[in-house]
Amino acid sequence: MYKAIPCKKHPIFFIQWVRILKKNIDFGCIKCLDEIQEKSHIIYVPEIIENPSILVHHIPVEEQYKTLYKNLNDFSEETLEKYYGQLEKSLNYLCEYLKNFIQNGRASLQEFKTKCKESRDQLYQQFKIDEIYQLINEFGLQDNQDVQDQIEKKLNAISEKVNDDLMKEQSSKIKTIFKETQLAIYKLNLNCNKQISEISVQIDSNTNQLKHYFCTSFNSIYSTGQTFNPYSKNQNQQSNQESIWVQSQSSSEFVQIERSTFQFSVNNLPYYSSRILPQFYFEYILNYASQWQNCAFQWQNQQILLKAYSIFEPKNEEIVSGQQFWNKNPQQQQKQSFHAIKRRQCSSSFDTQDQNYTKLIIFKSNNKGNPIFGYFRSDSLEFIFSYNHNEIYPIKQMKKNMQNLGGDIQQYQVKNQIYSQSFIVGNYDMEIHANLIDGKSMLGQDFIWDSQNNEIDQSEYLFGGAKPNIQLCEVFYF
């Protein structure tokens, strides 16, 4: 039973509340409340004893993580089953090639159910709720002032430990829980209906209902701001007004194609998809980039515009001849008649106009496990990512600048060094030679990498080996 403890400042009153702040934790009595202006984080001790979960709202972490815990705690399998079941029923009427998607979707759903419970319990543990509860309860049972002081120090140490975790990037346990839950949702492929031209109105309705469910039930992940969505509501109308530059595997030429005639084929890019990354992770990377106040992309009618696409293998003619995959410039033409196919030879030398493009490069290696990794760059954002490790490595200068309120990220321009034979990112965080085979990686030089361990050498963490040994490379221009 909780024992009434006299207040330090007002001994004739008893301690009745706790206040958890970012730097310290206060205890006080009713009299102390008259001396405090900020009372938003006051929690009464009897309420804590009765329901420890109320501490979550007052833990000094960013609101999105506390909201995520609430989302996970309120998660209803029955409601999700209701919406997903409607979508699944409609999908069963589609062609044979959709059966594979349905199986994957069901597996992802089961994975998400499990992930919700796991993430909720993990966040509860990372917030140190039981430890805080036990210490507060122990505080109320102690008469010894020294012991009480020790308990307060322990509580403050717990708060510091939580904050220290959030200062990390890839190795933050709380951020990892958030990211894994986010990816578990993405694996449901809620945009599947837009990837298929034969999609029915019923599937569109079912998918939007399911998406609305996640937007409202997981508002910690789906913010009210603009979220990446590569699929236009008026795709047919927009397609008549735009073209895209595509480079085939067998040629160094870019071909300008009308979006209205841009079809799925073995030689062309499926609309906003990657041949290397799974669709859910491809959208995850683009969504990550688009969250930086939409500064990384060119937008039209709230849609991200893909300007050009290239794909390379070591056996490609241009790679064998020593041309640079990172300097292939699509040389966008000005508006012309979109009813004719235009061909233009790519520039083999570095063109300053290439700097105006937002670029996403994705690599797949022939090393053990076929590691997949990549690099994103715009005039305001730059990062490396690893699909196999499920990690994003922001440039250190960008991270530092973001911690300065109102800073201008654009002052930290791309540090890529373009050499005649190598594509270099940062201070050799990633280097890939023009032949796509040779190179090296010293991750952590100019890009944040705090998840390193002794099991994998620094030079092999990204590539899965000492050299990149690239099997396939994709370059997207936005």
pLDDT digits 0-9 by tens, 227-285: 555 554 444 444 434 455 555 444 445 554 444 443 333 333 334 678 899 888 998 89
CA–CA separation, 15 vs 76, rounded Å?
38
Residues 249 and 201 in one domain: no
**CB 359, CB 455: distance < 8 Å:** no
Displacement of CA 119 from its chain's centroid (Å): 16
Q: 229 lies in a domain?
A: no
Sequence-separated (6 or more) residues with CB below 8 Å from residue 380? 292, 295, 296, 409, 410
pLDDT band for 223, please (50, 70, 90 cuts).
low
Q: How far is CA 172 from CA 31, 68, 353, in A?
A: 40, 16, 38
Residues 244 and 331 in one domain: yes
Q: What is the pLDDT of residues 134-148, one digit of tens each?
A: 988 888 787 788 888
Q: Which residues pair with 430 in a beta bridge?
A: 425
**CB 233, CB 239: distance < 8 Å:** no
Q: Considering only residues 365 and 300, tell me which one the structure prediction assigns the higher pLDDT.
A: 365
Which residue, of 217, 249, 275, is where some domain finishes? Answer: 217
Q: What is the pLDDT of residues 50-60, one digit of tens each?
A: 888 878 777 77
- What is the tally of structural domains in the chain? 2
Residues 263 and 355 in one domain: yes
DSSP label at 212? H
Q: How far is CA 348 from CA 52, 180, 253, 267, 325, in A?
A: 64, 41, 11, 22, 9
The sign of the dihedral angle between the CA atoms of 25, 28, 30, 35 is negative
CA 476, 434, 363, 375: dihedral to nearest 10 degrees? Answer: -60
Residues 178 and 251 in one domain: no
Q: 170 lies in a domain?
A: yes
Residues 354 and 459 in one domain: yes
What pLDDT score does 220 carry? 85
**CB 105, CB 85: distance < 8 Å:** no
For 376, half-sphere exposure in the C-beta direction (CA atoms, 13 angstrom radius) is 23
Residues 197 and 294 in one domain: no
Q: 223 lies in a domain?
A: no
Which residue, of 191, 217, 243, is where some domain finishes? Answer: 217
Q: 230 lies in a domain?
A: no
CA–CA separation, 330 vs 322, rounded Å?
18
Which residue, of 217, 252, 285, is where some domain finishes? Answer: 217
Residues 295 and 167 in one domain: no
Residues 110 and 198 in one domain: yes
Q: Give buried/exposed letters for 28-54 (b at 16+ CB in 10 A, else e).
A: bbeebeeeeeeeebbbebeebeeebee
Residues 248 and 211 in one domain: no
pLDDT band for 44, please (50, 70, 90 cuts).
confident
Encoded tokens for 385 = 């990512």
Considering only CA atoms, give the Rg of the chain: 27
Q: Considering only residues 77 and 222, tell me which one the structure prediction assigns the higher pLDDT.
A: 77
Residues 406 and 294 in one domain: yes
Q: Are β-strands 308-312 and 342-345 bridged in parallel, bridged antiparallel, or unpaired?
A: unpaired
Residues 41 and 128 in one domain: yes
Parent domain of 346? 235-477
pTM assigned to the model: 0.62
Q: Supply the mean pLDDT for the chain.
A: 75
Q: 224 lies in a domain?
A: no
CA 186, 191, 195, 200: dihedral to nearest 10 degrees? Answer: 140
Residues 65 and 114 in one domain: yes
What pLDDT score does 108 carry? 87
What's the longest Cα–Cα distance across the chain?
89
What pLDDT score does 143 carry? 78
What pLDDT score does 417 carry? 42
Best mean pLDDT range from 188-197, 236-245, 371-380 = 371-380
Q: 8 lies in a domain?
A: no
| pLDDT value at 369 more than 70 | yes
